Amino acid sequence: MSVKTAPRFSLGKNGPLVSRMGLGLGLGTMGLTRPTYRAIPIQGEIFAFLDHAYEAGVTFWDSADYYNDCEEIIGNCFRRTGKRGDIFLATKFG
């Protein structure tokens, strides 16, 4: 499938065009993990979720190093799909 054209806006005065809807990716905290002592993400489900967001035209994704293995999973998704250049990825640290 190809990405849908979703409403976009410029991030800042001269920034990149991003989708108006962003996707917060606290993947380790939203029920997409196995119930164990240390949350182990179910990557197949997460990949399907991220693929669906992309297909819906949501290309502004937000993550943080605090969200368990979220950034590693996103990296795996980019390696799998080759879509890194299509996604604006924001992140935080602390």
Is 67 labeled as catalytic in the residue annotation?
Answer: yes
* Residue from 37, 54, 66, 67 carrying the catalytic annotation: 67
Specify whether the CB–CB gap between 68 and 27 falls below 8 A.
Answer: yes
Task: Quote the pLDDT of residue 62.
Answer: 92
Residue ranges of the chain with pLDDT lower than 50?
37
- Displacement of CA 23 from its chain's centroid (Å): 6
Specify whether the CB–CB gap between 41 and 73 falls below 8 A.
Answer: yes
